[in-house]
Amino acid sequence: MKRRTFLRLSSIVATYFLGANSANAKTTKPTNKIEYLPLIIPPLLEGVKIKNIYHYNLTIQKAKHKFFDNKLTDTYAINGTYLAPTIKLIDGQNVSINYTNKLEETTTMHGHGMHLPADMDGGPHQKIKPNRSWSAKYKVNQRACTNWYHPHAEGITAKHVYKGLAGFIIVEDKNSQSLDLPKEYGIDDIPLVLQDRFFDTKAQLYYRPNMMQIMMGYRGNIFVTNGVLNPYVSVSAKEIRFRLLNGSNSTVYDLAFNDHRKFKQIATDNSFLEKPVTINSLLLSPGERAEIIVDLTNSFDSYLYLYDTRQRKPFLKIEVNKKPNKKTTTPKRLTYLDRYSLKQVTNTRRFTLSMRMRGVYINNKQMDMKRIDEIVPLNQVEIWEVENKKMMMMGMEHNFHIHGTYFTILERNGSAKNVLENEKGYKDTVYLAPGDKVKLMIKMIDYKSKLNPYMYHCHFLEHEDAGMMGQFLVV
Ligand code: C2O
Ligand code: CU
Ligand code: CU
């Protein structure tokens, strides 16, 4: 049994496909000789409590990161040299997340998945100029989930994320704290930012999308996991929880273990699933998160890979070489979710994602910072229908992300049966294959403003920057 596994995984490791759009780039190519390096776990940032508020201090800076043995790579990072510290928040806490921009250019910092007032959202309007600071101050007001923060400045989000700006925000609540799940950060509860990158021959990040790559998505030829090229992690023979974030610009991953073992998905973007859903592969589009539990109890003294079945390349080697001192048993019931009823729906909005020769559009429009596209009443249940329209039989993948609150997926392609079991938690980003149509149920709650809009957009960052975004006010 095991032998066969190893054969298969060595063929996976050896099979390096170059990204389809690498033709014009002079880049460092991955080699077949692989030296595995320890996975970096983004450090947890302790909040500083002043009066009743937890302060988190973050500096956005230029840095040099060691992706390769002999050369340093110029990056952007928060506090460290690539990516950012993890911020762990607890429901009900008052926080002030303070960003200081030490770059030579303006950026913003958005709390993706955070339920907060629009002026604390860190979208394209909350600019942080060089040498200035900006704080997201709010009361944490949502269920346990895995969120993230990243720049959102108009037209340059993709470049800033590519350079290395992204970090986790983990939200915990009473329920998540009480469940018998792996919870030791970095030990059996492991966050993974999955990315792909091009490096030029000088080991520098190569980000120069041409028109074709803007349309088709900019895909790198090298996988990077938490800022490491060929990472391994060593774990105990027990249940291990991974918090997966697709932090790549435009690449959709279909994640699996190389031995095709089953695993459980326990959470979607914004909540636990009500019950764990057993799967053996998981589609994750840019911006989406999933928490999974893989049971390695019987895998002591072996190793396996988390890999992408689409490109057949690994993200992480998992070495099971420690005896556990504590075990968990994932409960059969994780949470109860609130669902609105169809009778409450007061309005339906339609969003058509489309491409033409020279661009990508939502409802035939491109982002205009001065235009409000939708006005959404507070506390009203709505249906948002999103269609990824094909043009002359041609299609491309997109997704659709909404700021400010979560939604649930009611239907895909005309039927509730097409909504997968593991899409039934709270979501903030939904994947749409070419031609797909989804019906989302959404209710904007708690925060309104006549001045400050939230965004909705495709989270393929080249598309977003090319204008595939709109703004809405909640009133
Ligand atoms: Cu993760 Cu509007 O973004
Ligand atoms: Cu967002
Ligand atoms: Cu798109």
Q: Is the CB of 362 under 6 A from ligand 1?
A: no
Residues 444 and 365 placed together within one structural domain of the fold? yes
Assess whether the C-beta atom of 457 lies below 6 angstroms from ligand 1.
yes
The CB of 112 under 6 Å from ligand 1? The reply is: yes
Q: Relative to the CA of 429, which ligand 1 atom is closest? A: 1
Asked if residue 385 and residue 252 are part of one domain, the reply reads no
The domain that holds 132 is classified in CATH as: 2.60.40.420
Q: Is 401 in the pocket of ligand 1 (CB under 6 A)?
A: yes
Residue 329 counted as domain residue: no
Which of 169, 132, 166, 163 lies closest to 45, judged by CA? Answer: 169
Confidence of residue 25 (pLDDT cuts 50, 70, 90): low
Amino acid at 126: Q
Distance 110 CA to ligand 2 centre (A): 6
What token pair was written down for 350?
A: 């339609």
Query: Is residue 33 included in any domain, yes or no?
Result: no
Residue minimizing CA distance to atom 1 of ligand 1: 112
Phi/psi of residue 262, nearest 5 degrees: -80, 150
Cα 69 to ligand 2 centroid, rounded to whole Å: 35
- Residue 354 Cα, ligand 1 centroid: separation in angstroms? 19
Put residue 299 in one of left, alpha, beta given phi > 0 → left and psi -120 to 50 → alpha: alpha
Helices (H), 154-260: 157-163, 174-178, 211-216
Query: Which of these three, 172, 192, 219, is where a domain ends?
Result: 172
- Per residue in 345-398, pLDDT tens? 999 999 999 988 779 999 999 999 999 999 999 999 999 999 999 876 678 999
Please report the pLDDT score of residue 29 as a whole number.
72
> Ligand 1 within 6 A of 219 CB?
no
Output the pLDDT for position 18: 33
Q: What is the pLDDT of residues 111-155, one digit of tens each?
A: 999 999 999 999 999 999 999 999 999 999 999 999 999 999 999
> DSSP string spanning 129-171?
-TT-EEEEEEE--S-SEEEEEE---TTTHHHHHHHT--EEEEE
Dist. CA 452 → ligand 2 center (Å)? 15
Secondary-structure breakdown of the chain: helix, strand, coil percentages, each rounded to the nearest 5:
10, 45, 45
pLDDT at 31: 66
- Compute the distance from residue 147 Cα to the ligand 3 centre, in Å: 20
Residues 194 and 156 in one domain: no
- The predicted pLDDT at position 93 comes to 98
Of 74-88, 245-259, 304-318, 349-363, the poorest mean pLDDT is in 349-363
Model pLDDT, residue 11: 34
Q: Is the CB of 403 under 6 A from ligand 1?
A: yes
Same domain, 157 and 229: no
Query: For a pLDDT cut of 90, what percent of the chain falls above it?
Result: 89
Q: What is the pLDDT of residue 27?
A: 73
SS3 assignment, position 342: helix
In a domain? residue 331: no
Q: Does the residue 365 lie in any domain? A: yes
Q: Domain of 97?
A: 44-172
Cα 253 from chain centroid?
A: 11
- The tens digit of pLDDT for each residue in 281-332 reads 999 999 999 999 999 999 999 999 999 999 999 999 999 999 998 999 999 9
Tell me if 221 is assigned to some domain: yes
pLDDT of residue 356: 83
Whether 315 and 379 map to the same domain: the answer is no
Ligand 1 atom nearest to 123, measured from its CA: 2
Return the residue whose CA atom lies nearest to atom 3 of ligand 1.
112
235 and 121: one domain?
no
Share the mean pLDDT of the chain: 93
Q: Which residues pair with 100 in a beta bridge?
A: 59, 133
Task: For tokens 């053996």, name the residue.
Answer: 280
Amino acid of residue 279? I
- Counting from 1 in the atom list of ligand 1, the atom nearest the Cα of 455 is 2
Q: Are residues 273 and 352 in the same domain?
A: no
pLDDT higher than 80, residue 3: no
**Ligand 1 midpoint to CA 171 (Å):** 17
Q: Are residues 359 and 435 in the same domain?
A: yes
Q: Residue 376 domain-assigned?
A: yes
- Position 4 scores a pLDDT of 38
Is the beta carbon of 228 within 6 A of some atom in ligand 1? no
328 CA distance to ligand 1 middle (Å): 33
β-partners of residue 139 are 94
Write the CB contacts of 16 (distance below 8 Å, at least 6 apart in sequence): 29, 30, 32, 221, 313
pLDDT at 14: 31
CB-based contacts of 15-22 (< 8 A; 24+ apart in sequence):
15/312, 15/313, 16/221, 16/313, 17/221, 17/311, 17/312, 17/313, 18/221, 19/196, 19/198, 19/219, 19/220, 19/221, 20/216, 20/219, 21/212, 21/213, 21/216, 21/218, 21/219, 22/198, 22/221
| 327 occurs within a structural domain | no
Give the Å distance between the CA of 38 and the centre of ligand 2.
30
Domain count of the fold of the chain: 3
The minimum-distance atom of ligand 1 relative to the CA of 456 is: 2
In our burial notation (b when 16+ CB lie closer than 10 A, e otherwise), range 331-365 reads eeebbebeebeeeeeeeebebebbbeeeebbbeee
pLDDT of residue 156: 98
Ligand 1 atom nearest 112 alpha carbon: 1
Same domain, 313 and 356: no
Query: 293 lies in a domain?
Result: yes
Determine if ligand 1 sits within 6 Å of the CB of residue 124: no
Position in ligand 1 atom list of the atom nearest CA 464: 2
Q: Note the pLDDT of residue 32.
A: 66
Q: Does residue 189 share a domain with residue 159?
A: no
Q: Span 43-49, mean pLDDT?
A: 97
Reported as a pLDDT band with limits 50, 70 and 90, residue 157 is: very high
CA of 401 to the centre of ligand 3 (A): 10
Q: Is the pLDDT of residue 8 over 70?
A: no
* pTM passes above 0.75: yes
Is 313 in the same domain as 197? yes
| Span from the CA of 86 to the centroid of ligand 2 (angstroms) | 17
Rounded to the nearest angstrom, the gap between the alpha carbon of residue 394 and the centroid of all alpha carbons in its chain is 27
What residues pack around ion ligand 3 (CB closer than 5 A)?
398, 458, 460, 463
Q: Residue 419 above 60 pLDDT?
A: yes
Listed residues 118, 143, 172: the one ending a domain: 172
Per the CB < 8 A criterion, the answer to whether 278 and 262 are in contact is: yes
Region 219-246 average pLDDT: 97
Counting ligands in written order, which one lies closest to the CA of residue 250? 3
Considering 172, 203, 235, which residue would you say is the last residue of a domain?
172
Nearest ligand 1 atom, CA 457:
2
Say if residue 303 is in the same domain as residue 349: no
**Residue 289, ligand 1, Cβ within 6 A:** no
User: Is pLDDT at 24 greater than 90 in this prediction?
Assistant: no
